[in-house]
Structure formats: C-alpha cells, structure tokens
C-alpha cells in the first residue's frame, strides 16, 4: 500500500519498541527504509528487536532507556543523531497500565503510570523536538493513545488521566510546533493482542471473549493494520494532517457511546420484530 522505501533516510525512535505493537511498527518502518532506535527498559528485549530490524536490511540501535528519566532520554536522542544522522520520527508508544479499583491505588501506583505515560511521552517529545527544531528539517511525532483518553474509564484512572494529558499535548504541540515543520498526531487503538497488555488487562479467556463481543466488527485488530496506519501518519502521505488522533478499534468506543447501540450488537432476527412491534404500538398524532 506504500511506495517502497517511502521512509528512506529517516531515523525513527520507537519507545517500548522491543515487544508488542511497538515492535510491529518498528519492523514496518524498517521494511520501508527507515533506520530505527528501539528503546525499552529491558536491554534484552531491545537487543533482540534491533537484531530483527537489521535482518531486514535497516540500521538499528538498541537503547535501554527508562522514559521517566530525562537524562536517559536525552542520551538516547544524542546517540540517534550520532549513530544514525538525525531524529526524524518519534513514536511515543511506551506505556504502563494495570486494572485496579481506584480506592485501592497508592499514590506511587498513580505516579508510576503518570511517570511512564505522560511524563515519559513529554520527555521524549521535548528531547526529540529540540533536535528536530535545531536541524531545521522538522519531523513527525506519533502518540499512541486509547479512546478512553476522551471517554475516561473506571479501573484504569492513572492511565486514562495520563493518556488524556498526552492527547492535550498532541493537539497543543501540533499548533505550537507547526512553524518548525513538526507534525504531531495520535492513534487510539482498541484491543490488539499483545503479550504485555493482554497479561495486564485481559488475563482470562472469558475477559478476552467479552472484550471481543463489545466490538461491532467482532474481532481484535491485527498488528499489520495498526502498523500501516502508523506509517501513514509518520510519513509524507499525511503531510497536511496534524493534531489529529485516528481511532482504530473496529467501532468499539462508538458502540459503547450511542444510546441504542446495544441493538446493533444483537441478532437482527430478534431486533427487527421487536422494533416492528414498537412501531405498530406507537400512538398516532400529537
Ligand atoms: C495496583 C500496582 C499494580 C497493580 C503495580 N502497582 N502494579 N497497584 N495494582 N496491578 C503499584 C505498586 O504497588 C507500586 O506502588 C507502584 O505501582 C509501582 O510498581 P512497580 O512494580 O515498582 O513499578 P515498575 O516496576 O516501574 O512497573 C510499572 C508497571 C508495570 C506499570 C507497574 O506494570 C509495567 O512496567 N508495565 C509495562 C507494560 C504495560 O503495562 N503494558 C500495558 C500497556 S497497555 P507502591 O505504593 O506499592 O510502591 C495500555 C493500553 C490500554 O496502556 C488500552 C487497552 C485497550
């Protein structure tokens, strides 16, 4: 769907790129010509991921980086520039999350998730943004969000608050940094099977099945689908899009929002007679 080598000569930094959706995006970018910086707290994960990128013919460096620590993030951006020549694309994908009744959270649990998601995304955005501004070439930033950034969600209050903050940052910087040729967009994925998120959020087959049944398209997303959207948003194909967040969730969040959407999830053979009976029973006139 993309021109071969459409990311040629660009360096992409993917946080949380050692596993899951981050790795899928990194591999897709590599296939299209980008050089990669794969960052994660676990050196083991990033080294094997960087090796997989190199097998596809791209340059890659593995960096153990805790996005909560600005000095580690700055060092990573310096290495990207020194070893790969520039910082052109940033994907803020690293996240931390768990289900917990809010009354049982500790202040440190809240601070930990905010630290990874909101402060971590800011740290990377600041350090990469300074490089993009200094180079005069600009660049693209992509923030991985979720639809509960705008709906909110019980049991994940630290994550919802942090993602809402990243959404505000996405929109704010799209305006402020447009003059530096920096575009900032977001993706709000619904459930895409990954080891990390699944273990933290949908640990039993029953929970996974219930999550699938809430989705109008009745399936989870495929990594390839998300990776293609990410390429579109970080590449020149989306050159006039900034400050937006594209939802890719099979209709999940809208289905939860509409007053009568539960009818769309039921068997039409049961729903149609019900609605027909309502119509024949409705009063005529005023
Ligand atoms: C309540 C918890 C907890 C839990 C940790 N804490 N897990 N509280 N329920 N399940 C508390 C601890 O008690 C501690 O507080 C504080 O949080 C820090 O915990 P640590 O284990 O010391 O932190 P750390 O080792 O830094 O680990 C961070 C983490 C971990 C967030 C807790 O899960 C992590 O690293 N996750 C990364 C991978 C991940 O979560 N991926 C899912 C992202 S999916 P006290 O007060 O006791 O010291 C996502 C998308 C959602 O976000 C959209 C889905 C559709």
- Which DSSP state fits 283? P
How many Cβ atoms from other residues are within 10 Å of residue 38's Cβ? 31
- Is residue 147 within 6 Å of ligand 1 at its C-beta? no
Ligand 1 pocket member 188 (CB < 6 A): no
pLDDT at 133 over 60: yes
Calpha distance 63→116 (Å, rounded): 16
pLDDT at residue 284 greater than cutoff 80:
no
Closest CA to 162 of 208, 113, 104, 103: 113
Query: Are the beta carbons of 253 and 147 closer than 8 angstroms?
Result: yes
How much distance in Å is there from the Cα of 114 to the middle of ligand 1?
Answer: 10
**Is the CB of 146 within 6 Å of ligand 1?**
yes
Atom of ligand 1 nearest to the CA of 190: 55
Q: Whose CA is nearest to atom 53 of ligand 1?
A: 146
Q: Does residue 112 line the site of ligand 1, with CB under 6 A?
A: yes
pLDDT in tens, 234-245: 999 999 999 999
- 225 — phi, psi (to 5°)? -65, -40
Looking at residue 216, the DSSP 8-state letter turns out to be T
Q: Which atom of ligand 1 is nearest to the CA of 106?
A: 46
The distance from CA 15 to its chain's CA centroid, rounded to whole angstroms, is 11
Gap from CA of 255 to ligand 1 centroid (Å):
28
1 confidence band (pLDDT: 50, 70, 90): confident
Instruction: Considering the chain, tell me which residue range(s) the CATH 3.40.50.720 domain(s) occupy.
Output: 11-250
Neighbouring C-alpha atoms within 13 Å toward the C-beta of 18: 19
Distance CA 113, CA 97 (A): 6
- Ligand 1 within 6 A of CB of 98: yes
pLDDT digits (tens, 9 = 90+) for 164-190: 999 999 999 999 999 999 999 999 999
Helix, strand, coil shares, percent, the chain, to 5 = 55, 15, 35
Among all residues, which ones are annotated catalytic? 148
pLDDT at residue 199, as a whole number: 81
Taking only Cα atoms into account, the Rg of the chain, rounded to an integer number of angstroms, comes to 21
Mutate to test the pocket of ligand 1, among 95, 98, 192, 193 (most ligand atoms within 8 A of CB): 98
Q: Whose CA is nearest to atom 19 of ligand 1?
A: 109
Residues 49-63, mean pLDDT to the nearest whole number = 96
d(CA 190, ligand 1 centre) in Å: 20
Atom number, ligand 1, closest to the C-alpha of residue 95: 43
Query: Which residue, judged by its Cα, is nearest atom 35 of ligand 1?
Result: 96
Task: Report residue 152 as tokens.
Answer: 């909110």
Q: Which CATH architecture has domain 11-250?
A: 3-Layer(aba) Sandwich (3.40)
Tokens of 22: 């981050």
pLDDT band of 63, cuts 50, 70, 90: very high
pTM of the model: 0.94
Residue 156 Cα: closest atom of ligand 1: 51
Written as six digits, the tokens of 92 are: 């803020």
List residues bridging with 92 in a β-sheet: 143
pLDDT exceeds 70 at position 286 = no
Q: Could you tell me the distance, in angstroms and rounded to a whole number, from the CA of residue 277 to the centre of ligand 1?
A: 50
Q: Which residue has the tokens 């951006």?
A: 77
Q: Measuring CA to CA, how many Å separate 10 from each of 7, 160, 208, 217?
A: 6, 32, 37, 35
Q: Is the pLDDT of residue 285 over 70?
A: no
């Amino acid at each position: 769907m993309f021109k071969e080598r459409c990311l040629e000569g660009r360096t992409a930094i993917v946080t949380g790129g050692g596993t899951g959706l981050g790795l899928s995006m990194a591999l897709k970018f590599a296939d299209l010509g980008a050089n990669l910086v794969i960052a994660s707290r676990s050196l083991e994960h990033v080294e094997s991921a960087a090796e997989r990128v190199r097998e596809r013919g791209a340059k890659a460096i593995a960096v153990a980086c805790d996005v909560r620590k600005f000095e580690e993030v700055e060092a990573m951006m310096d290495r990207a520039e020194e070893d790969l020549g520039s910082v052109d694309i940033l994907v803020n994908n690293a996240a931390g999350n768990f289900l917990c009744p809010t009354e049982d959270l500790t202040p440190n649990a809240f601070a930990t998730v905010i630290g990874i998601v909101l402060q971590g995304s800011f740290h990377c955005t600041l350090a990469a943004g300074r490089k993009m501004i200094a180079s005069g070439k600009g660049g693209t930033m992509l923030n991985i969000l979720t639809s509960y950034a705008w709906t909110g969600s019980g049991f994940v209050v630290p994550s919802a608050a942090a993602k809402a903050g990243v959404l505000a940052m996405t929109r704010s910087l799209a305006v402020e940094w447009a003059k530096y040729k920096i575009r900032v967009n977001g993706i709000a994925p619904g459930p895409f099977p990954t080891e990390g998120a699944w273990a933290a959020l949908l640990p039993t087959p029953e929970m996974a099945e219930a999550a699938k049944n809430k989705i109008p398209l009745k399936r989870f997303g495929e990594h390839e689908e998300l990776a293609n959207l990410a390429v579109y948003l970080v590449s020149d194909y989306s050159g006039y899009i900034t400050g937006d967040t594209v939802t890719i969730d099979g209709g999940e969040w809208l289905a939860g929002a509409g007053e009568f959407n539960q009818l769309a999830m039921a068997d039409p053979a049961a729903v149609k007679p019900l609605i027909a009976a309502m119509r024949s029973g409705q009063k005529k006139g005023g």
